[in-house]
């Protein structure tokens, strides 16, 4: 077995590969992507009367498409009633940061980082009370988000589109982890 010098031995650690606990109510659904020599297709969901199959109790009321410029951070959004279901196309790469701010939740205070896109096809369900935002990890191109919500957007007193400062959970949550 090889020995390290004192400075390297003092700094040496082993990365923790154990699964990161999920925030209560957040769901990740892996989607099938069908590839052939002519391209690819991903089924984002099947709906029956607005109800999204595979996401019990979620009724889609609006569908949105958003573009985030390279390196941009869009955060933090927060809803009292609305559930979001996000999808980032596999050719894009987005860091999704989630933080549970629901008083009394079993995962209250937990922050979770999830990379979306990057060759994967997944839906992420974000329940009310879970602050969420994203950073485009592509260095020179925009990335897209397609998302479904169960509350229609309104600019009047029924608006459920709240905000927290982008650095509310610290600036480190947006940084690319080194190591």
**Residue 76, domain member (yes or no):** yes
Residue 38 belongs to some domain of the structure: yes
Report the number of distinct structural domains present in the chain.
1
Q: Is-contact 33 25, C-beta < 8 A?
A: no
Q: Is 12 domain-assigned?
A: no
74-123 pLDDT, tens digit each: 999 999 999 999 999 999 999 999 999 999 999 999 999 999 999 999 99
Model pLDDT, residue 179 = 67
**Which CATH number characterizes residue 140's domain?**
2.60.120.10
Determine, yes or no, domain membership for 19: no
Alpha carbon distance 108, 110 (integer Å): 6
Alpha-helical regions (H) of the chain: 6-11
Cα 172 from Cα 109, distance rounded (Å): 16
Please report whether residue 117 resides in a domain. Answer: yes
Residue 176 lies in a domain: no
Q: Tell me the residue length of the chain.
A: 179
What is the C-alpha to C-alpha distance for residues 84 and 96, in angstroms, rounded to an integer?
13
Tokens for 169, please give them.
């959970």
Q: What is the mean pLDDT of residues 45-60?
A: 92
Q: What is the pLDDT of residue 84?
A: 97
| 154 within domain boundaries | yes
Q: Which residues constitute the domain of residue 62?
A: 24-165
Please give the structure tokens belonging to residue 8: 């390297």
For residue 58, tell me if it sits in a domain.
Answer: yes
Q: Which two structure tokens, joined as six digits, stand for 110?
A: 């937990």
Cβ(79)–Cβ(150) below 8 Å: no
């Amino acid at each position: 077995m090889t020995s390290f010098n004192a400075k390297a031995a003092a700094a040496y650690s082993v990365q923790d590969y154990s699964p990161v606990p999920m925030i209560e109510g957040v769901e990740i659904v892996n989607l099938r992507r069908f590839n052939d020599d002519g391209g690819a297709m991903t089924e984002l969901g099947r709906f029956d009367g607005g109800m999204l199959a595979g996401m019990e109790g979620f009724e889609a009321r609006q569908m949105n498409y958003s573009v985030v410029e390279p390196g941009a951070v869009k955060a933090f959004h927060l809803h009292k009633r609305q559930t979001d279901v996000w999808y980032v196309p596999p050719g894009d790469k987005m860091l999704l940061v989630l933080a549970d701010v629901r008083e009394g939740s079993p995962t209250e205070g937990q922050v979770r980082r999830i990379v979306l896109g990057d060759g994967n096809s997944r839906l992420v369900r974000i329940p009310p009370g879970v602050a969420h935002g994203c950073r485009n990890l592509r260095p020179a191109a925009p990335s897209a988000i397609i998302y479904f919500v169960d509350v229609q957007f309104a600019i009047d007193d029924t608006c459920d589109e709240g905000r927290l400062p982008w650095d509310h959970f610290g600036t480190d949550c947006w940084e690319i982890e080194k190591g």
